[in-house]
């Protein structure tokens, strides 16, 4: 059974900031982290989950289907954390 670790929560929070900011550049301001650190965190989360969460580049930012699912689940997760 895979247990949710503190590092997972941190990575999911970073992913949420990227999503809500519509990209890494916007998340940089929100998180006060470098774009390279944010990108590395996103890559780490994608590796841990085994899915690509978003597409980004010249055409803009977009969640993949898996990314949308993870984002929606993260809302429930952090609401539960807040209630706890």
pLDDT at 59: 79
Q: Which two tokens stand for residue 60?
A: 């803009």
3-state secondary structure the chain: CCCCCHHHHHHHHHHHHHHHCCCHHHHHHHHCCCHHHHHHHHHHHHHHHCCCCEEEECCEEEECHHHHHHHHHHHHHHHHHHHC
pLDDT at 81: 87
pLDDT at 43: 96
- Tell me which residues of the chain have a pLDDT lower than 50: 1
pLDDT at 4: 60
Q: 């706890």: which residue's tokens? A: 84
pLDDT at 7: 64
């Amino acid at each position: 059974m895979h247990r949710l670790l503190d590092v997972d929560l941190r990575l999911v929070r970073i992913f949420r900031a990227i999503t809500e900011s519509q990209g890494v550049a916007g998340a940089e301001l929100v998180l006060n982290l470098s774009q390279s650190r944010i990108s590395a965190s996103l890559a780490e989360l994608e590796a841990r989950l085994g899915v690509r969460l978003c597409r980004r580049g010249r055409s803009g930012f977009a969640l993949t289907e898996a990314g949308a699912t993870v984002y929606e689940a993260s809302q429930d997760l952090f609401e539960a954390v807040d209630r706890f």
